[in-house]
Structure 1
């Protein structure tokens, strides 16, 4: 498999932390683990430290995305999915998790896989002010679920 590879500098800033890893060849995301034991009470949102700092090349971002198994099997959600780690961010990466259960606390153990990192190219936008955007292309209209559920 000859996929493009982009070097991302990474610093382990807490003792005993594992590097993110691709679980299978060809996976889009690298699994990232919790750096500490932590419990989320019902309805609680917390930042889960990863013990990692990154230096992402300019022109890229790392998206923090949920792991499908965690989303399907537990009440835990990545609160701002996908989260963005910008190229200029150099502090410890934290994963914002929410316990959506109304009744049960949820324990996360150190080394539990809590999210995945996906590297994405980010072209810069340049806005061009126009008099009427509806004159450009077709306006499909609607939005916010206007086409229904079927």
Structure 2
């Protein structure tokens, strides 16, 4: 891991936490509905077979409406650039101010499987079939 001067290394708030906090290196002002790509000053070398997922911090989302546009963000194991977070202010009325050093997201590192995609004339059937959005809640009372 490389951490720029003045940046904070990812850190777990409590033992057993899945997500390591990422902090901004710059002050940020986000107006209602505004989005911005925010630097963390951190570069990592993830182990092969793993992916880093950048997730919103639930407390910030609940208190201020701060979220991530492409949440979770995907960091491939071969990426060596700075981790940046695409933040969005989902509050329709209140701006959000962040100071340099404020925690803005969490990095979760998980193993990943790669699939082989093979062409087929049709797929084998399943209990769900082609039921899409909301289909598992239909017919339940």
| TM-score, normalisation: structure 2 | 0.90
Question: Pairwise mapping of residues 108-127 of structure 1 onto structure 2 (< 5 A)?
Answer: 108-127=98-117
Cα distance, 1:48 vs. partner? 1.0
Structure 1 unaligned blocks of 5 or more: 1-9
Match of 2:33 among 43, 52, 60: 43
> 1:143 aligned to 2:100?
no
Instruction: Please name the residue that 2:3 is paired with.
Output: 12
Question: Pairwise mapping of residues 81-120 of structure 1 onto structure 2 (< 5 A)?
Answer: 81-120=71-110
Show CA shifts across 1:43-97 (max 9, x none): 1110110001111122111100111111111111111111101111111110111
Instruction: Please name the residue that 2:11 is paired with.
Output: 21
Farther off after superposition, 103-112 or 45-54: 103-112
Query: Could you list the runs of 4 or more consecutive aligned residues of structure 1 that deviate by over 4 angstroms after TM superposition?
Result: none
Structure 2 unaligned blocks of 5 or more: none
RMSD: 1.7
CA distance, structure 2, for counterparts of residue 98 and residue 139 of structure 1: 34
Report the 3-state secondary structure (helix = DSSP H, G, I; strand = E; otherwise coil) of the residue aligned with 2:44: strand
The structure-2 alpha-carbon separation of the partners of 1:32 and 1:38, relative to structure 1 and needing over 3 Å to count, comes to: same
Matched pairs, number: 139
Match of 1:62 among 52, 67, 85: 52
Cα distance, 1:31 vs. partner? 0.9
Instruction: Please name the residue that 1:130 is paired with.
Output: 120
Cα distance, 1:136 vs. partner? 4.2
